[in-house]
Amino acid sequence: MLTIKNLHASVDGREILRGIDLDIKPGEVHAIMGPNGSGKSTLAGVLAGRDAYDVTAGEAIFEGKDLLEMDAEERAREGLFLAFQYPVEIPGVTNNYFLRTSLNAVRKHRGEAELDAAAFLKLVRLKMKILHMPEDLLKRPVNEGFSGGEKKRNEIFQMAVLEPKLAILDETDSGLDIDALKAVADGVNALRTKDRSVLVITHYQRLLNHIVPDKVHVLYEGRIVKSGPKELALELESYGYDPIKAGLAV
């Protein structure tokens, strides 16, 4: 699905990622954990094609294609989805219009017919039911006036509509109370398939109680310093990042 080799990236000339290696297979859930400033969000941004980053070395191959060569929109059309840490408010654009335009851009890329308003509505209503989204969501402007929890759920809802091959959740748990966290996690789990991969980026272990990963990686100072099974997350929860920072084995 996604193979990252020796990825280096910097922001304003400052190196943030210093050689990331990662291999995610279809259907796998990987978690990347790390303290603040370790490069988690940079990794998400680089993978999703944000302009602010310079990739200085390395590669990322997504489904056999060079991900780093693609524009953000091409990545999305190829099946990569980033759930934002801070979803953006877009006044004046309804979720309905936004999602239909988005889905049709993806469908067109896949060589599928674009959906008209009626067909889209039918599909989207079904997904809303699965994720228990409020009825008036479609009419409301994208994320405008949404609570933190609503915004994160809206990200997962978009994911449900776009049906990506790989979803990257960038600190989706930040700022959520336990109920909202559970709602988001349930949404993600409902979307898990044997082919769809998920990369969960998080500071805390608690989200991983609900979205159980196959592998956990610890990111520190721009490198993955430790990888292991899901139990690694529990160790981090118990001991924190200090042993890693101190260069000690947990």
**Closer CB to another protein, residue 93 or residue 234?**
93
Tokens of 134: 């409020």
Q: Which region, judged by CB under 8 A, interacts with another protein, from 82-90, 172-180, 207-215, 216-224? A: 82-90
For the CB of residue 45, give the shortest distance to another protein in the complex, in Å: 10
Alpha helices in the chain (DSSP H): 40-48, 72-78, 95-110, 117-131, 148-162, 178-190, 206-210, 231-239, 242-245
**Closer CB to another protein, residue 146 or residue 220?**
146
**Closer CB to another protein, residue 103 or residue 124?**
103
Rounded Cα gap, residues 173 and 76, in angstroms: 22
Give 132's contacts (C-beta < 8 A, 6+ positions apart). Answer: 183
Q: Which region, judged by CB under 8 A, interacts with another protein, from 6-14, 67-75, 114-122, 200-208? A: 67-75
Q: Does 70 bind another protein (CB under 8 A)?
A: no
> Which one among 91, 111, 145, 247 touches another protein, defined by CB under 8 A?
91
- Write out the residues near another protein by the rule CB under 8 A: 48-51, 71-73, 75-77, 82, 84, 87-88, 90-93, 97-99, 101-103, 105-106, 109, 141-142, 158, 162
